[in-house]
Amino acid sequence: MKPTTIEIKVPGFGPTTIFLTIWTILLWIMVGVLLIGMIGRPSEIDSLWFLWLVMIGVGVLTGNHIIWEAIGKVRITISSDRIHLTNVNNLFKKEVHIPIEDFRRVEFRKEGTFLPLDFWGFTQGDILFKFKNGQRRFGKDLSKRDSLKTIYRIEKEIKNYTQQWA
């Protein structure tokens, strides 16, 4: 049986994305100013190279988050022996491989976060994927209806594979 793939788009462009886009643009401008200063007058800037490297690192990480918010997806691939969760369309891939026998359940559970964190988009989502040695949340900003439809589809596909091999 061919593996089933389900893709969940990450809704983006909330307050977090706007704030991080402005922050990233300003950060890269500061990196450029420091770089020009280091090239033009290196003797006056002795130990700012560390700051420059930190700013580049932060710029890459925030840029990754902006890309994730704009075009990111969670891809769930269900096969006869494992469930594969992958973040798609970002710089740093996050993958989880779950043997089918370690899968426990997928459920809708509203994330109980501090209100300002929810407003700024620093939540992971309401779809909770539980397996033997952990859990993973996704589906941030999906409506309850869309979350429940996705959960139903995931459960249906997993049951198809487990009944086939039982």
Determine the pLDDT at residue 47.
Answer: 66
Q: Strand, coil or helix: what is 91?
A: coil
Q: Strand, coil or helix: what is 106?
A: strand
- Asked which of 47, 69, 91 is the last residue of a domain, the reply is 69
Residue range 94-123: mean pLDDT, rounded: 74
Residue 141 lies in domain: 4-10+73-165
Which residues is 134 bridged to in the sheet? 131
Give kind and range of the element (H or E) at residue 70: helix 49-71
Residues 140 and 82 in one domain: yes
Determine the pLDDT at residue 115.
Answer: 58
- Asked which of 69, 90, 111 is the last residue of a domain, the reply is 69
Residues 106 and 142 in one domain: yes
67-98: pLDDT as tens digits: 877 888 888 898 888 888 888 888 888 888 88
Q: How many domains does the chain have?
A: 2
For the sheet with 4-9, list strands across it.
4-9, 73-78, 82-88, 95-99
123-161: pLDDT as tens digits: 667 788 888 888 888 877 777 888 888 889 888 888 877
Q: What is the CATH number of the domain that holds 136?
A: 2.30.29
Residue range 98-120: mean pLDDT, rounded: 74
Residues 32 and 102 in one domain: no
Residues 122 and 144 in one domain: yes
**pTM greater than 0.75 (yes/no):** no
Exposure b/e, 2-37, CB count within 10 A at least 16 = b = eebeeebebbbeeebbeebbeebeebbeebeebeee
Residues 77 and 62 in one domain: no
4 touches 158 (CB < 8 A): no
22-41: pLDDT as tens digits: 888 888 888 888 778 777 77
